[in-house]
Amino acid sequence: MRIQNLVQAEYNLSFTAASLRPELARIVAEFYLKVSNWDLVRDHVLRSNALQCRSTSSAIRLERELRRRLGKLTETELVILAGENADDRAAIAWLATLKHTQLAFDFAAEVLREKLAMQDRVLRRSDYEAFVDSKSLIHPSLNRLRPHQGVKLDKFTAHAFRGGLAGGGLRWDDSASALIPFSPSRDQGRQAPMAGWVPLL
């Protein structure tokens, strides 16, 4: 009997280049609907600095991440994203994140769905910490995060999940939103739970 390899494909953490950013995703979607060509979208967004980035490198990272997410959407979804309703834009930006980002999808499928099924409408820091701690066993990329990368991941998840859950009837427990230092665990090299949620502006 062959033993199954439990180590799964590593998470791609490039999504930390942008949180949900529905207002910026709308800009990208609007231009795509005009030209129907992602290469032209990239060139236009970077040339015009449509995302209002302070540096070229930041613009490249942000544009690439948004383009990859939006490339997972259907044309109908892009039309909604480019529309006037802010709640709809946030919902589609969340959908694009789920389609593109495996970590976000796994969290939604394994944690958020269960909480909704149990009618537990409060998402706590401990829910996320337990999820990341369990995933670090089968996704080595989470164990190799440097301190500043761990904090950046937490900031992304705080913005993205909080923004995406607004329409689903869930809310954050803000009572434990202080940032906790990110540091490796001394337990056989495993990483300590990720930093806590950060207050959002």
- Please write the tens of the pLDDT for every residue from 11-58: 877 766 677 889 999 999 999 999 999 999 999 999 999 999 999 999
69 Cβ contact list (under 8 Å, min separation 6): 15, 25, 93, 96, 97, 99, 100, 101
DSSP strand E in 37-176: where? 122-123, 171-172
d(CA 14, CA 17): 6
Would you state the structure tokens that stand for residue 72, as one six-digit string? 């997972």
* Predicted pLDDT at 200: 28
On whether the CB atoms of residues 145 and 153 are closer than 8 A, the answer is: yes
On whether the CB atoms of residues 180 and 198 are closer than 8 A, the answer is: no
Helix 86-100 / helix 22-35 crossing angle, nearest 10 deg:
80
Residue whose structure tokens are 């923004």? 163
**Which stretches in the chain have pLDDT values below 50?**
1-7, 166, 176-201
* Predicted pLDDT at 45: 97
Q: Where are the domains of the chain?
A: 14-100, 101-201
d(CA 90, CA 88): 5
Closest listed residue to residue 105, CA positions, set 139, 75, 76? 139
* Predicted pLDDT at 87: 86
